[in-house]
Amino acid sequence: MVFSSITFLFYFLPIVLVIYYIAPKKYKNVVLLIVSFLFYFYGEPKYIYIMTLLIICTYILGICMYRYKKYKTLFLILSIVINIGTLIYFKYANFLIQNINLWLYKKIDFIYVVLPIGISFYVFQLISYIIDVYKEDTKVQKNILKLATYISLFPQLIAGPIVRYKDIEKQLEDRSHTFSKFSLGVRRFIIGLGKKVLISNVLGELCSKFLISYDNSVLFYWLYAIANMLQIYFDFSGYSDMAIGLGKMFGFEIFENFNYPYIASSIREFWKRWHISLSLWFRDYIYIPLGGNRVETLKWIRNILIVWILTGLWHGAAWNFIIWGLYFGILLIIEKVFLEKYFKKIPKIFSRIYTLITVMISFIIFSGENINVIMQNIGGLVGINTNSIVSLESIYYLKSYFIVIVLGIIGATPILKNIITKVNNQKLINILEPICLLCILVISTSYIVDSSFNPFLYFRF
C-alpha cells in the first residue's frame, strides 16, 4: 500500500487516525503495532513472517546480551549474522549465483525468491538497535511489543527514513499529541504527496518515454538526465516528507532525511544533505568502527571504498549500484586529496555546477539497465553517437514538460522557503497556506485517480 493511493488516503489513514485517537494512552502503541502489521500485510502478506521472526530473534538476543554480559559479543555477532544473512539471502542470493556462474563458468540454478518490501530499512534498524545495546548507548527494550512497534511503525517501515531506536526510545514511552503538531504533520504530508505525485510521477513519465524513444538528440539526453535527477529526488524526499508528516500525526518526531541536496557545493556536502539517515548509519556503524579518517591515508582510502561499495550494494543487487557507490567513493577521495583546497578559493557557483553535473551523471549510472545503456546515456550528453543537437520530438517534450521541470528545479532549492520566511504578513500566510495545501491535495488526488503511473522507486530497497 503506497501513501499516494486512494486506499491509503481515504480509507486506511482516516480509519487508523480515528481508532488511534479514541484509544486510551496505554493502548496507543498496541494500536500502532496492529495497524502497522496490517499495513505491511496488505502489501507483503507472504513475507510478514520474516520481519516478525527477525524482531523476535533480535529481541531475545538483546535480552540475552543484557542478562549474560560475559557473552554479549557472541550475542551481537549472532544477531548481525541472522539479520545480514536474511538480507543477503533475499536480496543478493541470485546476484551472487549469477556472478559465480559468469566468472567461474558454473551452472548453479537460480533461487526463486521475492525481495520483501522494506527489508533493507528494517534490517538496518534492527542492527542499529542491537549495536547500541551492545555499546550501552541505549537500554535494552524488555517489552517486545514496544520493540516491534519501533521496527514496524508504518510511516517509515517500507522506505525509511532509517530511524534509530535510541532516537525514538523516549517517544515510544511518552509522546505529546497536540493540534499544532498534528496540523504540521498534515501540512508536511500534503507537501510530500504533491512532490511525489505532481512532480516525481510526471517526470517519471518523461523518463519512460525517453527510454522507449528512438530519438537520440543531445537535447533529449539532457532532458532525460535532468528529469531523472529530479524524479529520484522528489520521489524519495516526497516519501520522507510524508513519513515525517505521518509521524507527527501520531506524536512522533522523525528526523529530517533531506536538506536541499542540490544546492550542495561538493559531493561531501551533498551526502550530508541527501538521505541523511542512511549516511549517518554507514558513518556510525561502518566508517567510524573501521577507523574513519583517523588512520593513515591508505587505510582511510580503504575505509571510504568499503563504505561506498556497501552503500551501492544496499541500494540494489546489480553492478550499476556497485559502480554508483564506487563513483561517489572515488569522488570523495579526489575532493579530499585534491579539490577541497580549490573549492575554498573559487566562487561557489562553480563548485555547485560541478556538484550538480557529477550528481546528475551518478543518477544516470543509478538508473541504467547495463553498462552499454549507461555509457550511451552519458555520451549522449556531449553528442557521442547522436544524430542531432535538437529534434522535433525533443522540442515537443521540452514544451510539454517545461513547467514541471521548472517547478522541480525551484522546489529542489530553498527559494520558496526563503520567500515565505521573509514575508512579514503572518495573517496573509495563514490565509493562503491552507488554500494552497487544499489545492495540492485535490490536484494530487485527481492525478492519482486519473493515472496508472504511480511507482515508488525506493520500495525495491
Catalytic residues: 315
Q: Work out the angle between the directed axes of helices 348-367 and 218-249 (0-180°, nearest 10).
A: 90
CA dihedral over 363, 364, 368, 370, signed as positive or negative:
negative
Task: Give me 225's grid cell.
Answer: 538526465
- In this structure, are residues 308 and 332 in contact, taking their beta carbons and an 8 Å threshold? yes
- In this structure, are residues 362 and 327 in contact, taking their beta carbons and an 8 Å threshold? yes
* 3-class secondary structure, 389: coil
Taking the C-alpha atoms of residue 116 and residue 99, their distance in angstroms, rounded to an integer, is 22
Query: For residue 120, how far is the Cα from the chain centroid?
Result: 11
Of residues 460, 3, 457, 5, the one with CA closest to residue 231: 457
Taking the C-alpha atoms of residue 158 and residue 156, their distance in angstroms, rounded to an integer, is 6
- In this structure, are residues 311 and 325 in contact, taking their beta carbons and an 8 Å threshold? yes
* 3-class secondary structure, 346: coil
- In this structure, are residues 216 and 433 in contact, taking their beta carbons and an 8 Å threshold? no
- In this structure, are residues 166 and 255 in contact, taking their beta carbons and an 8 Å threshold? no
SS (H, E, C) 233-293: HHHHHHHHHHHHHHHHHCCCCCCCCCCCHHHCCCHHHHHHHCCHHHHHHHHHHHHCCCCCC
Taking the C-alpha atoms of residue 59 and residue 130, their distance in angstroms, rounded to an integer, is 9
Residue whose C-alpha cell reads 533529449 in the numeric block: 220
Taking the C-alpha atoms of residue 306 and residue 313, their distance in angstroms, rounded to an integer, is 11
